[in-house]
Homo-oligomer: A and B are copies of this chain.
Amino acid sequence: MPKPKKHVLVCAQGRPEGHPRGSCQAKGCGPVWQKFSDEFAARRLWESGLQLTNTGCLGPCHLGPSVLVYPDGVMYTGVTSADVEDIIDTHLLFDEPVERLRAPADVW
Protein backbone atom coordinates (compact mmCIF):
# COMPACT_ATOMS: atom_id res chain seq x y z
CA MET A 1 0.00 0.00 0.00
CA PRO A 2 1.18 3.55 -0.61
CA LYS A 3 2.02 6.03 2.14
CA PRO A 4 -1.28 6.87 3.88
CA LYS A 5 -2.85 10.31 4.16
CA LYS A 6 -3.68 9.55 7.78
CA HIS A 7 -2.41 6.74 9.96
CA VAL A 8 -4.50 5.81 13.00
CA LEU A 9 -2.64 4.13 15.85
CA VAL A 10 -4.77 2.47 18.52
CA CYS A 11 -3.04 1.47 21.75
CA ALA A 12 -3.71 -2.17 22.60
CA GLN A 13 -1.36 -2.42 25.58
CA GLY A 14 -2.36 -4.76 28.39
CA ARG A 15 -0.87 -5.10 31.88
CA PRO A 16 -1.56 -7.46 34.79
CA GLU A 17 -4.50 -6.58 37.02
CA GLY A 18 -3.48 -4.23 39.79
CA HIS A 19 -0.51 -2.84 37.84
CA PRO A 20 0.00 0.76 38.98
CA ARG A 21 0.01 2.19 35.45
CA GLY A 22 -3.20 0.46 34.39
CA SER A 23 -3.50 0.00 30.64
CA CYS A 24 -5.57 0.89 27.60
CA GLN A 25 -6.70 -2.73 27.49
CA ALA A 26 -8.09 -2.48 31.03
CA LYS A 27 -9.79 0.75 30.02
CA GLY A 28 -11.57 -0.81 27.07
CA CYS A 29 -9.46 -0.34 23.97
CA GLY A 30 -10.74 -3.65 22.56
CA PRO A 31 -14.11 -2.29 21.41
CA VAL A 32 -12.39 0.87 20.10
CA TRP A 33 -10.07 -1.21 17.93
CA GLN A 34 -12.96 -3.38 16.78
CA LYS A 35 -15.05 -0.36 15.79
CA PHE A 36 -12.19 1.18 13.82
CA SER A 37 -11.57 -2.17 12.10
CA ASP A 38 -15.24 -2.56 11.23
CA GLU A 39 -15.53 0.98 9.87
CA PHE A 40 -12.32 0.68 7.87
CA ALA A 41 -13.68 -2.48 6.26
CA ALA A 42 -17.25 -1.28 5.73
CA ARG A 43 -16.25 2.07 4.25
CA ARG A 44 -13.19 0.80 2.40
CA LEU A 45 -11.06 3.36 4.20
CA TRP A 46 -7.86 1.43 3.45
CA GLU A 47 -8.52 2.01 -0.23
CA SER A 48 -9.11 5.70 0.52
CA GLY A 49 -5.57 6.20 1.76
CA LEU A 50 -6.11 5.66 5.46
CA GLN A 51 -4.19 3.17 7.57
CA LEU A 52 -4.96 1.52 10.92
CA THR A 53 -2.44 -0.15 13.25
CA ASN A 54 -2.61 -1.44 16.81
CA THR A 55 0.31 -0.53 19.03
CA GLY A 56 2.04 -1.07 22.34
CA CYS A 57 2.09 1.71 24.92
CA LEU A 58 1.61 5.23 23.56
CA GLY A 59 2.16 6.94 26.90
CA PRO A 60 -0.92 8.31 28.67
CA CYS A 61 -2.09 4.99 30.16
CA HIS A 62 -4.00 6.65 32.99
CA LEU A 63 -6.21 8.47 30.47
CA GLY A 64 -6.70 5.63 27.97
CA PRO A 65 -7.88 4.29 25.67
CA SER A 66 -5.42 6.30 23.58
CA VAL A 67 -5.62 6.86 19.83
CA LEU A 68 -2.93 8.74 17.90
CA VAL A 69 -3.30 10.13 14.38
CA TYR A 70 -0.24 10.83 12.23
CA PRO A 71 1.20 12.71 10.42
CA ASP A 72 -0.83 15.31 12.32
CA GLY A 73 0.43 14.11 15.69
CA VAL A 74 -2.99 14.43 17.33
CA MET A 75 -3.45 12.30 20.45
CA TYR A 76 -6.90 11.40 21.69
CA THR A 77 -7.53 9.99 25.17
CA GLY A 78 -10.54 8.42 26.85
CA VAL A 79 -11.79 7.23 23.47
CA THR A 80 -14.78 4.88 23.37
CA SER A 81 -16.25 2.97 20.45
CA ALA A 82 -18.99 5.63 20.32
CA ASP A 83 -16.32 8.23 19.44
CA VAL A 84 -14.84 6.35 16.49
CA GLU A 85 -17.24 7.60 13.83
CA ASP A 86 -16.61 11.18 14.93
CA ILE A 87 -12.86 10.70 14.56
CA ILE A 88 -13.34 9.21 11.10
CA ASP A 89 -15.96 11.66 9.82
CA THR A 90 -14.42 14.80 11.23
CA HIS A 91 -10.69 14.23 11.44
CA LEU A 92 -9.71 11.46 9.05
CA LEU A 93 -11.99 12.51 6.22
CA PHE A 94 -12.22 16.29 6.76
CA ASP A 95 -8.97 17.08 8.51
CA GLU A 96 -10.52 18.69 11.59
CA PRO A 97 -9.36 17.16 14.87
CA VAL A 98 -12.11 16.27 17.37
CA GLU A 99 -11.30 18.85 20.01
CA ARG A 100 -13.35 17.28 22.82
CA LEU A 101 -11.24 14.12 22.69
CA ARG A 102 -7.77 15.68 22.50
CA ALA A 103 -5.28 14.68 25.18
CA PRO A 104 -4.58 17.36 27.78
CA ALA A 105 -1.54 19.52 27.04
CA ASP A 106 0.45 18.06 29.93
CA VAL A 107 0.39 14.56 28.48
CA TRP A 108 0.93 15.38 24.79
Contacts and interface: CB of A to CB of B under 8 A. Distances in A.
Contact of A54 (B3, B51, B56, B59): B56
A62 B15 CA distance: 31
Chain A, interface size: which category? 20 to 34
Given A53-B55, A53-B56, A56-B54, A1 B107 contact: yes
Number of copies: 2
A55 B9 contact: yes
Main secondary structure of the interface of A (DSSP, over half): loop
A75 B3 contact: yes
A91 interface: no
Interface of A: 1-3, 7, 9, 12, 51, 53-59, 70-73, 75, 106-108
